[in-house]
């Protein structure tokens, strides 16, 4: 059973339905309409636009590399907070050269930083072959641990897509399955880390992934009625990841 936290967001109907279905052999869940990858992409794009509209991030997306770098270096979330994951995340999302090396050995930060450094084997940054990527983060509390695991998954999914290595893809899919089995998404901090991963798995017909993705999208809009700034950055990356997946699917 998933680990249930004390998140402030009420569970969306999809997760209430999941609990009901688990008690009734999942008959109802198996009849839920499944969406294509293009449909997931359209839904995420709509939520992304609501978060981007009128923000400096929207301006930065169309700016010169120098202006994108200036924005990234001064980035803070809606509450004025900075995080250790911001520099490698923004360097990747805004397609700029990293301006500083990671100051922590936290696994999610290292995996994101490695995206901007070709030649680093992402699996060398993960000690286990299955289960959690960052088990040591459990000591920091369930909400922090959940966010680190989800952020790690989003970066690892990029590594798998970029490298084309089956062993990286296998580890990423294994981690997604572990999250769905063990960590309920409401344990996070209302940010849609790995939303593209669960959307892609949902489009393949995975009902648990569909419910996970819907919960992540619901939670990131609860406080403001739209995504907060950091969530918008995450969704911007998710839209690129889904676009890459859609292109790969159409080519296949």
Query: What is the mean pLDDT for each group of 10 consecutive residues in the chain (252 residues)?
Result: 43 42 39 83 95 96 96 94 96 95 93 93 94 95 95 97 95 97 84 96 95 94 93 97 78 44
Residue with token string 């279905």: 21
Q: Residue 2 is encoded by which pair of tokens?
A: 């998933």
| Dist CA 127 CA 198 (whole Å) | 23
**Residue 3, beta-bridge partner list:** 183
The structure's pTM equals: 0.86
pLDDT at residue 31, rounded to an integer: 61
pLDDT at residue 32, rounded to an integer: 64
Residue with token string 């981007």: 52
Q: What stretch of H or E contains 225?
A: none
Contact 185, 137 (CB under 8 A): no
Q: Residue 175 is encoded by which pair of tokens?
A: 């981690």
Task: Check residue 75 and report its DSSP letter.
Answer: -
Q: Residue 219 is encoded by which pair of tokens?
A: 């939670």
């Amino acid at each position: 059973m998933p680990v249930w936290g004390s998140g402030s967001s009420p569970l969306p109907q999809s997760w209430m339905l999941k609990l009901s279905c688990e008690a009734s052999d999942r008959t109802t869940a198996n009849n839920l309409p499944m969406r294509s990858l293009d449909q997931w992409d359209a839904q995420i794009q709509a939520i992304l636009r609501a978060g981007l509209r009128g923000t400096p991030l929207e301006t930065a997306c169309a700016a010169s590399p120098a202006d994108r770098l200036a924005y990234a270096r001064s980035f803070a979330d809606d509450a004025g907070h900075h995080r250790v994951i911001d520099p490698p995340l923004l360097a990747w999302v805004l397609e700029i050269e990293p301006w500083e090396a990671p100051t922590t050995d936290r696994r999610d930060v290292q995996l994101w930083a490695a995206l901007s450094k070709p030649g680093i084997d992402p699996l060398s940054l993960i000690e286990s072959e299955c289960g959690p990527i960052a088990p040591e983060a459990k000591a920091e509390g369930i909400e922090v641990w959940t966010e680190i695991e989800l952020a790690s998954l989003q970066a690892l999914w990029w590594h798998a897509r970029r490298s084309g290595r089956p062993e990286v893809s296998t580890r990423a899919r294994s981690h997604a399955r572990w999250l769905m089995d063990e960590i309920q998404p409401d344990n996070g901090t209302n940010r849609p880390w790995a939303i593209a991963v669960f959307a892609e798995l949902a489009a393949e017909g995975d009902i648990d992934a569909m419910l996970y993705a819907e919960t992540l999208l619901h939670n990131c809009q609860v406080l403001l009625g739209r995504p907060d700034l950091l969530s918008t950055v995450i969704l911007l990356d998710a839209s690129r990841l889904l676009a890459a997946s859609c292109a790969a699917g159409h080519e296949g």
